[in-house]
Amino acid sequence: MNVISNKWIGQRTIRPDGADKVTGRAAYGADTVMPGMIWARVLRSPHAHARILRIDTSKAEALPGVKAVMTAKDVVEFPLDKSVMLGIQDMRWMCRNVMAREKALFHGHPVAAVAATTEAIAAEACALIEVEYEVLPWVIEIEDAIKPDAPILHDFIKLDGKPSNIAGKLEHKLGDVDAGFAQADVVIEREFKTRPVHQGYIESHACLVSVSPDGKATIWSSSQGQFMVRAMSAYLTGIPQSDIRAIPAEIGGGFGGKTIIYLEPLALILARKSGRPVKMIMSREEVFRASGPTSGSMSKVKIGATKDGKIVAAQGTFYLQAGALPGSPIRGAAGCAFAPYDIPNVHSLGFDVVSNRSKVAAYRAPGAPIGAYAVECVVDEIAEALKMDPLELRLKNAAKQGTKAAHGPVYPRIGFVETIEAALAHPHYKAPLGKHQGRGVASGFWFNAGGESSAQVNVTEDGNVVVTTGHPDIGGSRASTANITAELLGIDYKRVSVLIGDTATIGYSNLTGGSRVTFASAMVVTQSTEKVITTLRERAAKIWKIDPEAVTWDDGEARPAGDNAGKFPALTLAEIAAKASETGGPIGAGVQLNTAGAEGGFATHVCDVEVDLDLGIVRVLRYTSFQDVGRAIHPSYVEGQMQGGAAQGIGWALSEEYIYDKKGRVDNASFLDYRMPVCSDLPMLDTVIIEVPNPKHPQGVRGVGEVPLVPPLAAVSNAVYNALGRRFYSLPMSPPRVLEVLEGA
Partner 1 sequence: MTDTRYLAPQTLDEAVGAFAAAAGAARILAGGTDLLVQMRAGLLRPGLIIDIKKIEEMTAIVEEPDGGFRVGAAVSGAALAEHPRFGQVWPGVLEAVNLIGSTQVQGRASPGGNLCNASPAGDSVPAMIAAGAVVTVQGPNGRRQMPVEAVPAGPGRTNLTPGEILVSFALPARPKGSGDAYLRMIPRTEMDIAVVGVGVSLTIQGGTVTAARVGLGAVAPTVLLVADAADALIGSKLDDAALEAAAAACRAACRPIDDKRGTIVYRTKVAGVLLKRTVAIAAERAGRA
Partner 2 sequence: MAKLHVATTINGEPMEFLCDPGQSLLDALRGTLGLTGTKEGCGTGDCGACSITLDGRLVCSCLMLAAEAEGREIATIEGMAAGEDLHPLQQKFLEMAALQCGICTPGMLIAARNLLERNPDPTETEVRFWLAGNLCRCTGYDKIVRAVMETAEEMRGAAR
CA–CA gap between residue 302 and residue 348 (Å, rounded)? 10
If binding is defined by CB under 8 A, does position 124 make contact with partner 1? yes
Considering the rule CB under 8 A, would residue 333 count as an interface residue with partner 2? Answer: no
Which residues inside 250-269 make contact with partner 2, applying CB under 8 A? Answer: 250-255
Angle between helices 735-743 and 712-724 (to 10 degrees): 40
Q: Which is nearer to partner 1, 462 or 612 (CB)?
A: 612
By C-beta, is 22 or 679 nearer to partner 1? 679
Q: Which of 1, 14, 179, 659 binds partner 1 (CB under 8 A)?
A: 659
Which of 667, 664, 734 minimizes the C-alpha distance to 135? 664
Is 616 one of the binding residues for partner 1 (CB under 8 A)? yes
For position 526 contacting partner 2 by CB under 8 A, the verdict is: no
Least separation in angstroms between CB 110 and partner 1: 18
Nearest to 98 by CA among 270, 249, 348, 227: 270
Query: How many Å apart are CA 319 and CA 364, to the nearest integer?
Result: 18
Rounded to a whole number of angstroms, the distance between the first and last alpha carbons of the chain is: 57
| Residues whose CB is less than 8 angstroms from the CB of residue 479 and which lie 6 or more positions away in sequence, other chains included | 13, 14, 15, 16, 498, 634, 637
Closer residue to partner 1 (CB): 588 or 677: 677
Task: For residue 27, state whether it binds partner 2 (rule: CB under 8 A).
Answer: yes
Q: Binding of partner 1 at residue 84 (CB under 8 A)?
A: no
SS3 712: helix
Q: Which of partner 2, partner 1, none does residue 633 bind (CB under 5 to 8 Å by kind)?
A: none
Give the C-alpha separation, 251 to 474, whole Å. Answer: 6
* CA–CA distance, 248 with 258 (Å, rounded to integer): 12
Site string for partner 2, 431-470 (x = CB under 8 A): ----------------------------------------
Instruction: From 595, 93, 120, 45, select the one nearest 360 (Cα to Cα).
Output: 93
Q: Considering the complex, state which of residue 194 and residue 515 has its C-beta at the smaller distance from partner 1.
A: 194
Stretch that binds partner 1, among 157-165, 363-371, 391-399, 665-673 (CB under 8 A): 665-673
CA dist 266 and 274 (Å) reads 12
d(CA 241, CA 64): 34
Q: Is 494 in the site for partner 2 (CB under 8 A)?
A: no
Range 172-201, binding partner 2 (CB under 8 A): 199-201
Q: How many residues bind partner 2 (CB under 8 A)?
A: 58
Q: Which does 424 bind (CB under 5 to 8 A by kind): partner 2, partner 1, none?
A: none
Q: Give the 3-state secondary structure percentages of the chain, helix then strand then coil, rounded to 5.
A: 30, 25, 40
Q: Is 675 in the site for partner 1 (CB under 8 A)?
A: yes
Between residues 9 and 145, which has the closer beta carbon with respect to partner 2? Answer: 9
Q: Which of 3, 9, 28, 353 binds partner 2 (CB under 8 A)?
A: 28
Output 63 or 388, the one with its CB closest to partner 2.
63
Site string for partner 1, 186-225 (x = CB under 8 A): ----------------------------------------
CA distance 422 to 283: 44
CA–CA distance, 476 with 626 (Å, rounded to integer): 20
Binding of partner 2 by 646 (CB under 8 A): yes
Among 90, 203, 376, 502, binds partner 2 (CB under 8 A): 203
Piece of the chain touching partner 2 by CB under 8 A; list 132-140, 526-534, 549-557, 641-649 = 641-649
Is 722 a binding residue for partner 1 by CB under 8 A? The answer is no
Q: Does 204 bind partner 2 (CB under 8 A)?
A: yes
Helices 477-489, 635-654: crossing angle, 10 deg rounding = 160
Most distant CA pair in the chain, distance: 87
> Which listed range, 74-82, 212-220, 384-392, 678-686, lies at the site for partner 2 (CB under 8 A)?
678-686
Q: Phi and psi of 283, rounded to 5°? A: -75, 165
Distance CA(161)–CA(153), nearest Å, equals 16
Q: From the list partner 1, partner 2, none, which binds 739 (C-beta under 5 to 8 Å, kind-based)? A: partner 1
Burial of 275 (0-12, 13-18, 19+ CB in 10 A): middle
Q: Of the candidates 1, 2, 5, 14, which one interacts with partner 2 according to CB under 8 A?
A: 14
Residues that bind partner 1 (CB under 8 A): 120-121, 123-124, 285, 614-617, 619, 654-655, 659, 667-668, 671-673, 675, 677-681, 734-736, 739-740
